[in-house]
Every structure is written in C-alpha cells, then in structure tokens.
Amino acid sequence: MNETVFFTGVIALPLLGALLATVWTRQARAIGIAATLGMVLCAGGLLLHVQQHGAVLLAIGGWQAGLGITLYADGLAVLMVLMSALVMFAASVYALKYFGSAQKHTAFWPLWLLLATALSALLLAGDLFNIYVTLELLGISAAALAALGGKREGLVSALRYLVVGLLGSMLYLGGIALLYAAYGTLNLQALATQLQAEPAAWAALLLLFSGLMLKMALFPLHFWLPPAHSNAPAPVSAALSALVVKAAFYLLLRFWLDLFPPVLTPWLANALGVLGAVAVLWGSWSALRAERLKLLAAYSSISQLGYLVMFLPLLVVLEGEARNLLLGGMVAFALTHAFAKASLFLSAGILLQHCGHDRIRELGGTTQRLPLTTFGIALAGIALVGLPPSGAFLGKWYLLDGAFSTSQWWWVIVVVVGSLIASAYVFRLLGHAFGHLKAVERPRVSGMQELPALLLALLATFGLGLGAAGIWPLVADRSGVIP
C-alpha cells in the first residue's frame, strides 16, 4: 500500500517533526530538514502514483466516508502538495542559516512544521469539516510565524492577520453549517452529488467564498496582506505568500470545480473575474509604487492571485479539451507563482540581512555585490511578469487563448496592462543591479541561503516553462468528481 505510506508521510512526517522539535529543541533544525525532505519525497511518490493509477481516496482507520476522516488525492491536489513540499523544504534549508539566535529556532521549527502539516492536510482533506480544522490550524500557525519577526509593526500586523484569518474561518464555518443543515453531510463526494441550485446552496456558496476570498486576499479584501507578508521573517513570508494564500485559492477552485457546478452562474464567475482583474491592476500598480522590496513582493502576490481568479469566468464558459487546457494553464500559473514568489521573498531576505533594509532605491550596491541573489531575483521576476520560459507564460498563454476563443477580449487588455506594469516593477528593481562599483568585494553569503532561492526561481522559469507538459494530463483527469 504505497499510497497509504505517501499519504501518511506527507501529513504525519511534519506533524511528528513538529512534536519532536518541540521536545528536542537542540535538533530542531535537523528534524525540520528531515521532515520537509520526507514530505518532498512522499509528495513525489504520491504524484507518481496518481499519475499511474489515477486519483486516490483514503479513509483513515477504515471508516467509511461520511463518518471518519477521508483523504483524497487527485492530480490537482498532488501537484499542490508537491509544490508546498518543495517550497517548504527550500525555505527550511534557507531558514537554517537565517535565524541568528537559537531561541528563534526553538520557536520557529515547531510552528513551521505545524504549518507544513496543516497545508498538506488541507490540500488532501476530503470533507468540509476537516478542511475547516486544517484551515484554522493553518491560520493560527501562520499568524504565529508571522509574529516571529519580533518588531512592533510585525506584531501588530500578525495580530491583524490572525483576526482576519479567524474571521475568514468563521465565514467558512457558517457556510458549512448551512450545507450540513441542508444536506446532512460534509463529505465532498456526497455533497457534490446532492447539491442543487437552491437558496441554501447559494447562501453557503456566498459564505464559503467570502471566507476564502478574505483568506486569499482577493481585492477588495486584500488590505491585511501586505503588512503581514512584508513584516514576517523571510522564510515565513515565502510560505505565506507562496502557499498559505494559495491554499485558500485551492479550496475555492476545488469547490468551484467539484462542489458548486450546479449553482454557478456566468454572472457570478464574471463578478469574480472582475474582482480578479481589479486585483491584477491594483496589485501591480501598488507594487510599482512600493518603496520596499518585500512590500513590492507582497503587492505582487495580490495581483498574481487576481490572475488566478480571472481564469474562473473562462472556466465556466469553456468546455471539453479547451477547458482542460485552461485548467492546466491555471495550475501551471499557480505553481509558478508559488516558486517564484517564494524565491523572491528568500532573496529579499538575503538583501535585507545584508544591508539592513530593503528600500528599493538604495539597493543598488548590494545587488551588484550579490550577483547570484540578483540573478535569482531576475529569474523570479521573469516568472512573475510571465515572460517565457516560465509556467506563468504558459498560464497567460492559455488564459489569453481562452479569452480570444470566447471573444472576451477585455480580459486580454487586463492581462497585457498587468504584465506591463509587472515588468515595470520587476525591472525597476533590477535596474539598480547595473552600476559600476569600483571595488567589488563579494561578501560572504551562505550558499545555503542563495541556492534555495535560485533553485526555486529556476524551477519557476526553466523548470515549469519547459517541463510542465505533465501537468495537463494530471489535472485533466477528473473523471468522476470523486471516485
């Protein structure tokens, strides 16, 4: 039973690691690395398994669905799991040298591994209640991690983050309560077959989506994100921006695809799409105006999530092969954003550590002294703009393709303008890298910090840009909503 091992590994390893790290603080780092590496391996195994055998359902403890905890892994889920495992692992390696004091490490690793656990569990959860639990766990551990920065503003924003997260969870909880009241089950599979277009379902949908939109910081509910993400420690920012918001988006997508099709109307899709479009433009514009690098990265996340939401209105209209293409493009985009944004935050952390601030205007000298980091930022930037080769390029390609083939050209304009602003903010940063410093002494930066950032960026660009063809068959195979 390979898949059981993989399933369990992905969730249990970090959980076990979190417990061990709490107890055995001295070896917290080693435990963290081992656990996240294990996650990567298990996620990889799971991916291969799903690739060969199709989606997998696992009922823990032998209870039948509806009673016990069910875990469910289809192509979409495994891809997200692998993505989060990779980012967590890279950020873990990075974190080894990031935190100066042992005290910080002691606080960091258990929370960090808890976050990893929550992520994996959320992505693989098969019923709405478990999702709620993992969502709470995710929100709390994320807020706690965000507070690790220790500065005053960091604490304030982390607190706000916590409150917003709780609010989101409450909305979500309201939604599932409605569903439970109406249909008597929270199992995704069961709900999917029963759900009908009726007021209860609509209300539930609104509540669920509002909660998730708050958590994924979709315009106009984005206000909390920039301060929270930009003030957290670098590896935490990376995970928050790359994974935590994406988990919310993943849920939105999953409900969209599997749960609510009877209820969805193009009107709703378009409304969401418009929000996404505004998010794209507003987020990019704010990123362009941002004074600080991490703030830039955070605003960029808002706009990137906007793109993901913009796929939805097309997803409603398109059918068959075209829809699968679009879906795959969307996933490629999401993956790219995760890797690229994580890389960018890690690199930003290096710059921040190195010159004590991250004011873009004054980064010129540092970027010249740290060519490898700068190179990583450049690659991540390419992925964020959506230039080839990158997964985002593919994503935008299918988005535009879909827009053209459904004659919805207004999305095209948004994508074009958004991409142009994105290139403006990326190269505003990179422009400073070309100066002629007379004495170029290269400071010592640990390869353990530079490499994860660079590798993530390479993954986002060349990896996904050239080697993403496997995504489509994985995502497209949605035969029967849940087996």
Partner 1 sequence: MNVMSLINQWLPLLIVFSSFFIGLVIFFLREESYHLRTFLNLLVAVGKLVLVGFLIWGVYHGQVYEIRWVIAPELELYLHADALSVLFVTLSALLWLVTTIYAIGYLENSPHRSRFFGFFSLCVSATVGLALAGNLLTFVIFYEFLTLATYPLVAHKGREEARKAARLYLAYTLGGGMVLLVGVIWLKSIVGPLTFVQGGILDTLPVDVHDELRWIFLLLIIGLGVKAALVPLHGWLPKAMVAPAPVSALLHAVAVVKAGAFGIVRVVYDMYGVEFAAELGVLLPLGIAAAITIVYGSIMALFQDGLKKRLAFSTVSQVSYIALGASILGPLATIGGIVHLVHQGIMKITLFFAAGNYAETLGIHKVSEMNGVGKRMPLTTLAFTIAALGMIGIPPVAGFISKWYLGLGAMEAGALGWVMPVLIASSLLNAAYFLPILYRAWFVPAAVDWPQEKITSGRYGETRAMLLWPPLITATIALLAGLLAAMPFSPLEWVELIAAREYR
How do 70-73 and 56-59 pair as beta strands? antiparallel
Distance from C-alpha of 38 to C-alpha of 42, rounded to nearest angstrom: 6
Q: Is 376 in the site for partner 1 (CB under 8 A)?
A: no
Q: Is 339 in the site for partner 1 (CB under 8 A)?
A: no
Distance from C-alpha of 429 to C-alpha of 409, rounded to nearest angstrom: 31
Distance from C-alpha of 353 to C-alpha of 47, rounded to nearest angstrom: 36
Structure token digits, residue 194: 């029963």
Q: Is 60 in the site for partner 1 (CB under 8 A)?
A: no
Among 67, 440, 446, 483, binds partner 1 (CB under 8 A): 440
The set of long-range contacts for 439-445, using a CB threshold of 8 Å and a minimum separation of 24, is 440/368, 440/369, 441/369, 442/369, 442/370, 442/371, 443/354, 443/369, 443/370, 445/350, 445/354, 445/370, 445/372, 445/373
Among 181, 271, 412, 448, binds partner 1 (CB under 8 A): 412
Closest CA to 275 of 309, 301, 250: 309
The distance of closest approach from Cβ of residue 147 to partner 1 in the complex, given in angstroms and rounded to an integer, is: 38
Distance from C-alpha of 95 to C-alpha of 251, rounded to nearest angstrom: 28
Q: Is 455 in the site for partner 1 (CB under 8 A)?
A: no
The distance of closest approach from Cβ of residue 325 to partner 1 in the complex, given in angstroms and rounded to an integer, is: 6
Among 141, 347, 423, 449, binds partner 1 (CB under 8 A): 423
Q: Is 419 in the site for partner 1 (CB under 8 A)?
A: yes
Q: Is 469 in the site for partner 1 (CB under 8 A)?
A: yes
Which are the contacts of 364, defined by CB distance < 8 A and separation ≥ 6?
A: 432, 433, 435
Distance from C-alpha of 9 to C-alpha of 42, rounded to nearest angstrom: 6
Q: Which CB atom, from 19 or from 430, has the smaller least distance to partner 1?
A: 430
The distance of closest approach from Cβ of residue 48 to partner 1 in the complex, given in angstroms and rounded to an integer, is: 20
Q: Crossing angle for the helix pair 102-124 and 75-98, nearest 10 degrees?
A: 180
**Window 8 to 37, contacts with partner 1 (CB under 8 A):** none
Q: Is 411 in the site for partner 1 (CB under 8 A)?
A: no
Residue 429 is which amino acid? Answer: L
| Residues paired with residue 57 on neighbouring β-strands, in sequence order | 72
Which are the contacts of 241, defined by CB distance < 8 A and separation ≥ 6?
A: 229, 297, 298, 301, 341, 342, 345
Q: Is 436 in the site for partner 1 (CB under 8 A)?
A: yes
Q: Is 69 in the site for partner 1 (CB under 8 A)?
A: no
Which are the contacts of 236, defined by CB distance < 8 A and separation ≥ 6?
A: 112, 142, 145, 146, 148, 149
Q: Which CB atom, from 187 or from 390, has the smaller least distance to partner 1?
A: 390
Among 232, 346, 387, 454, binds partner 1 (CB under 8 A): 387
Q: Which CB atom, from 110 or from 389, has the smaller least distance to partner 1?
A: 389
CA quadruple 88, 94, 96, 101: dihedral sign:
negative
Among 388, 446, 448, 483, binds partner 1 (CB under 8 A): 388
Among 434, 446, 447, 483, binds partner 1 (CB under 8 A): 434
Q: Is 112 in the site for partner 1 (CB under 8 A)?
A: no
Among 435, 446, 447, 483, binds partner 1 (CB under 8 A): 435
**Piece of 10-18, 179-187, 255-263, 411-419 that binds partner 1 (CB under 8 A):** 411-419
**Piece of 270-278, 309-317, 333-341, 412-420 that binds partner 1 (CB under 8 A):** 412-420
The distance of closest approach from Cβ of residue 63 to partner 1 in the complex, given in angstroms and rounded to an integer, is: 39
Q: Is 271 in the site for partner 1 (CB under 8 A)?
A: no
Q: Is 325 in the site for partner 1 (CB under 8 A)?
A: yes
Binding site for partner 1 (CB under 8 A): 324-325, 328-329, 332, 371, 375, 382, 385, 387-389, 393-394, 397-398, 400-401, 404-405, 412, 416, 419-420, 423-424, 427, 431, 434-436, 438, 440, 465-469, 471-472
